[in-house]
Amino acid sequence: MLEYAFETVAADRGFFVGKTKGHQEIIARRAAEGWRYAGWIPTQQVNGSIALMDLVFEREQPEGCQEDGV
C-alpha cells in the first residue's frame, strides 16, 4: 500500500509567470528519504495565477504499518 505526503510551495507572481521557491530542494530531500515525486496540486489562486501548490510524494508503506479498512 502507498502512503502519501504533501509539502506546500509558494509561487512568486504565479506558477506560470514567476518562479517557485525551494521546490528542487524539497524534491531532492524527499527523494533522499525514500519518497517519490508524484505530482502537484494547485491549492490557492490569486487573480487567476497559482499562488500556492502542494507537491505530492508517495512511497510504499513498510510492512506491518498498513491501516486496516483503508
Spell out the domain ranges in the chain: 2-60
Q: Say how many Å lie between the first and final Cα of the chain, rounded.
A: 9
> For residues 18 and 52, which has the higher predicted lDDT (pLDDT)?
52
At 38, list the grid cell: 508524484
What is the chain's mean pLDDT, rounded? 84
**For 27-56, what is each residue's pLDDT tens digit?**
999 999 999 999 999 999 888 888 899 999
Query: Do residues 42 and 15 make contact, with C-beta atoms less than 8 angstroms apart?
Result: yes
pLDDT value for 68 = 54
